Structure 1
Amino acid sequence: MRWSQLLQSYQLQPESIEQITDRLYKIEADHQQYALKHARLLPEDVGRWQAIQQYIQGKKIFGFVPVYSTVHQRSFVEDNGEIYYLMPWVNREISEQPADEYATAIHTIGKLHAATMDYHKIEAVKQNRSTLESQFEQELSYCREQMLQYVRLFEAKRFMSPAELQICMYYRDVEQLFNKMEEWQEIYLDRMEETDQMKYTLCHGNVKPSHYMTTGMNTYLLNWEYALMTSPTYDLVSYYQYLFRFHDCDMDKISESFSVYCRYIDLSDYEKSLLVLQLLSPHNWFRSMSEIMQPRRGTSNVRKSVEIEVEFRKLFHGFQMQEYIYQTLKTDPIDDLG
């Protein structure tokens, strides 16, 4: 990397350059500290990213770390097809009283969504109800059939790999999840008929502990490269599924965080059912199973087993989460489920 040419675009003469991660550098120049990010943006993504930056600055959203402009008034520097951008360096505060990570993140997400919330009509979606019903039915039929085929294939072997054994052990749990998906699909379709519009907000797109930082009373969201305008459930699913990866995630605190979020954004039953269907989606579960059949070169049995375990945890904790969300529905869904 040609540091001198890159930083000259910001009229900086670096005193020191420290690599923090494979894509983050701490720059000291002119007695100040800067964060230089090697973005994952592709050239075709830059326009969207710049539009999001301008939108955030125009809205004066609190907790946003600004991006510096170059001498040519650009928000990034391109070097051999790679994108770099510069921000102030924000030091993470170390406190004797550790912050509640769940509360910190959910308050920050809630404030972001509340500050950027708008609505759009869903008439076009409602007109396609029959298509949605057919898609739901086909999806569940495929999932059940595919899961059964995998289990029969693995059980026919004399010796199963650890990952194959895990899949067979989890078959009953996953089948129960499919049944619950079917119930929520019915709730989704019924609530859709009662809904004229749904919320959309600016979503960060990749909320996890490494992408937000608490300093004093303030929390800053970092790395906006995946930001987009969409349903607020997008950020909730992204954040919760990150937490669900871990066996010791605190489901009581996560459930409580959902109540906190709903003080900022009053999700309709239709939006809650959309959130649940996203949390219960078995897409990544099946992707992990297919990779067992066609493993990537160099992938060990241990690695396969870990991937299957992580995907199962996400489904398992998602199943627990839907039970809590079910209790928060504004109208009794029992009649909907017959």
Structure 2
Amino acid sequence: MNELQEVAPIIKNYSLEPKFVEGFGKVQKVYTDKGVFALKKISPYHGTDFIRHIQYLYQKGYNRIVPVYPTMDGRYAILHNQALYYLMPWLPNEERENRSERHQKLFRELARMHTISSREIPIDQEERTEHYEKTLEQWEKEEEFLEGFMEQCEEKIYPSPFEMAFILYFNDINQALRFSKNKLKEWYEKTKEEEKARTVVVHGKVSTEHFLYDDRGYGYLANFEKARESSPFHDLLPILSRSLKTYPKQCEECVDWLYTYLKYAPFKEAEMLLFTSYLAHPAPIIKAAEKYYHTEGNKSERKNLQHLQKQYWLLKNTEYVVMRIDEIEKQKQQAKEQAAQAEAQKGAQD
């Protein structure tokens, strides 16, 4: 069965007649008697819960979403041959700017979506405390592991190349972990008495691949299959982390992207503390060391060492971004304090 024959019974539910089909992975570009459409195939286990989040965002006034079309009988997905399919317009998605500008627009749209869907929800103080204590306990265990592994490496007369590299990287890893812990503690001290927390509709799989342009050059978010209500961190942290997984560099672009977001959707002080805590946490390189430590028998020393080095690059790239954020936030705080002092002096003179 060719693609056209496979698509025909699905498209029929939309009162469309397919003329030609092009495959693009999980998306098929379908030329029909009424225009060009994108037909997306997903696992039936996903379900169509994400449609509820799309509809909610539309109701709130956010329309920069690639729409999902209903069938003639009102369904938003078709179950066919043990897979779900849903239909969208096909956007040309022509490149009209460089990589950084595309990211700027993506972060701005993400901020708008988060702001429109933002709401305060009650939170159990015991649950907050439990989350804090579990996270802190986990990070302290990681600290113990790092110190123990470091001692073991240093005691060896002939450490392996991986162990030699770990010895060189140890101080940077430990410093990042301690920074994360300190920010987490600051966050908890500021919020332990609060009874509410902010939540938004998160996209769940943010990337420039899911930010498409129409023929007028307007950007739209697509692929909401993992959308849910959660902290905005669940959108921001993954996309920043992916952008930092590269050769060593000082990614000032990443800082600009984040502050483009914050211009339209600013964090509270406590939210920034928790965000920098999570961003700085060196989980990937700790996992690389743990995997090496727990692997018995034959080890591919070269592959493990290459993997460790890549995680170290990520650590240092992230460190630069975190330090820049910390510097900017301190400058903003100093400016506020100076403005407050100036206002107080003016009031005293009056």
TM range (shorter): 0.7 to 0.9
Matched, 1:211 2:215: no
Given that residues 100 and 253 in structure 2 are in contact (C-alpha distance below 8 angstroms), is that contact kept between their aligned partners in structure 1?
no
Residues 125-160 of structure 1: per-residue CA shift (max 9 Å, x gap): 3x4566455434422321122234445666759574
Given that residues 120 and 197 in structure 1 are in contact (C-alpha distance below 8 angstroms), is that contact kept between their aligned partners in structure 2?
yes
Matched, 1:24 2:23: no
Provide the rounded CA distance (Å) in 2 between the counterparts of 1:306 and 1:206.
27
**Counterpart for residue 140 of structure 2:** 141
Note the C-alpha offset of 1:224.
0.7
**Counterpart for residue 318 of structure 1:** 318
Provide the rounded CA distance (Å) in 2 between the counterparts of 1:90 and 1:79.
24
Note the C-alpha offset of 1:243.
0.9
What is the TM-score when the length of structure 2 is the normalising length?
0.79
What is the TM-score when the length of structure 1 is the normalising length?
0.81
Residues 76-121 of structure 1: per-residue CA shift (max 9 Å, x gap): 1223332221110001123377761331121111111112111123
Mind listing any 5+ residue stretches in structure 1 that lack a counterpart?
333-338
Matched, 1:8 2:12: yes
**Counterpart for residue 246 of structure 1:** 246
**Counterpart for residue 36 of structure 1:** 39
Given that residues 212 and 222 in structure 2 are in contact (C-alpha distance below 8 angstroms), is that contact kept between their aligned partners in structure 1?
yes
Task: Give the fraction of aligned pairs with identical amino acids, expressed as a percent.
Answer: 19
Given that residues 119 and 197 in structure 1 are in contact (C-alpha distance below 8 angstroms), is that contact kept between their aligned partners in structure 2?
yes
Q: Map 1:262-273 to 2 at 5 A.
A: 262-273=262-273
Inter-CA distance 166–79: structure 2 relative to 1 (3 Å threshold): farther
Matched, 1:181 2:180: yes
- Structure of greater Rg: 2
Provide the rounded CA distance (Å) in 2 between the counterparts of 1:167 and 1:311.
11
Provide the rounded CA distance (Å) in 1 between the counterparts of 2:34 and 2:247.
44
Aligned residues: 323
Inter-CA distance 259–167: structure 2 relative to 1 (3 Å threshold): same
Q: Secondary structure of 1:9's match?
A: helix
Mind listing any 5+ residue stretches in structure 2 that lack a counterpart?
335-350
Provide the rounded CA distance (Å) in 2 between the counterparts of 1:106 and 1:318.
18
Inter-CA distance 257–96: structure 2 relative to 1 (3 Å threshold): closer
Provide the rounded CA distance (Å) in 2 between the counterparts of 1:196 and 1:182.
23
Provide the rounded CA distance (Å) in 1 between the counterparts of 2:81 and 2:164.
46
Note the C-alpha offset of 1:313.
3.6
Provide the rounded CA distance (Å) in 2 between the counterparts of 1:219 and 1:323.
31
Query: Which structure is higher in helix share?
Result: 2
Given that residues 250 and 320 in structure 2 are in contact (C-alpha distance below 8 angstroms), is that contact kept between their aligned partners in structure 1?
no
Q: For 1:245, give the aligned amino acid.
A: K
**Counterpart for residue 339 of structure 2:** none
Q: Map 1:1-338 to 2 at 5 A.
A: 2-20=6-24, 22-30=25-33, 32-39=35-42, 41-43=43-45, 45-95=46-96, 100-122=101-123, 124-125=124-125, 127=126, 131=130, 134-151=133-150, 156=156, 160=160, 166-193=165-192, 195-215=194-214, 216-247=216-247, 251-292=251-292, 307-327=307-327, 328=329
Note the C-alpha offset of 1:66.
0.5
